[in-house]
Amino acid sequence: MILLVLGSTGLGILLGLIRVGTPGIFDKGLVWSLAFLIFVVGWEMGSELEMVKRLLKRGPRLLLVPLFSVAGSVVFGMFAGFLLDITPIQGAVVASGMGWYSFTGSFLSAQGWTHLGAVAFAANVLRELFTILFAPLLSRVSPIAPVASGGATSMDSTLGVVRVFSGREMGPVSFLNGFVTTLLVPPITYILSRLL
């Protein structure tokens, strides 16, 4: 599957580099495929609502983790903007993706921010990769650290490493964090993008 993901992205990059096809068709394709992916993600989340309700009975304080995690990401993303060729708000928008690369990158590209979309796509792919690589170190700081690092991916692709390095008992916390973060990312990225 990783090969398919790399192949699909690589083919797109190649065609983009040699400017094949009409850009308008690709722009529409991006918007419609993003809408369909978000529909599928929404469906999956709706089907897991009962599990989330059960997790929330363990304490609403669990909701504070994703809220603080997103806030921290956005604030530090702004700091990163001061060091780079992008503005602090652009840094915050990219960081607000929380690892959801297929949303943030395509959302910004569809808005016409193609360079920022490319940065957002790469930054959020790297966030997922760094979470997997740094999970052993992060879990020494606190068992919640790999969960926070994973962001939106902590409910799926990085859930496994969280369970291995933070302990099995952190699995449900990780899932809930990913679920809430995934709900938070579209509105926060949208609001921040209005400030660009």
Instruction: Give the shortest CB-159-to-other proteins separation in angstroms.
Output: 15
Amino acid present at 46: G
- The distance of closest approach from Cβ of residue 171 to other proteins in the complex, given in angstroms and rounded to an integer, is 16
Burial (CB < 10 A; 0-12, 13-18, 19+), residue 3, is exposed
Is 13 a binder of other proteins (CB under 8 A)?
Answer: yes
Give the one residue of 16, 52, 89, 132 binding other proteins; rule: CB under 8 A.
16
Sole binder of other proteins in the list 37, 164, 191, 195 (CB under 8 A): 37
- Rounded Cα distance between 182 and 154, Å, is 10
What would the 3-class secondary structure string for 45-58 be?
Answer: HHHCHHHHHHHHCC
Query: Taking CB under 8 A as the criterion, which residues in 121-180 touch other proteins?
Result: 121-127, 130-131, 134, 138, 141-142, 144-145, 147-149, 151
Report in angstroms how near the CB of residue 160 gets to other proteins at its nearest.
16
Distance CA 196, CA 190 (A): 10
Minimum gap (Å) between residue 165 Cβ and other proteins? 13
- Shortest Å distance, C-beta 102 to other proteins: 5
Binds other proteins (CB under 8 A): choice among 110, 171, 172, 196: 110
Q: Give the footprint of other proteins on residues 50-109 (CB under 8 A).
A: 50, 61, 64-65, 68-77, 79-81, 83-86, 91, 94-95, 98, 102, 105-107, 109
**Phi, psi dihedrals of residue 10, rounded to the nearest 5°:** -60, -40
**How far apart are CB 195 and other proteins at their closest, in Å?**
14
CA-to-CA distance for 96 and 187, rounded, in angstroms? 10
Query: Among 2, 3, 17, 22, which residue interacts with other proteins (rule: CB under 8 A)?
Result: 17
Does residue 2 interact with other proteins by CB under 8 A? no
Q: Helices 64-83 and 88-95: crossing angle, nearest 10°?
A: 140
CA distance 131 to 142: 14
Q: If binding means CB under 8 A, how many residues of this protein chain bind other proteins?
A: 99
69 or 159: whose CB is closer to other proteins?
Answer: 69
Residue 73 burial (CB < 10 Å; 0-12/13-18/19+)?
buried
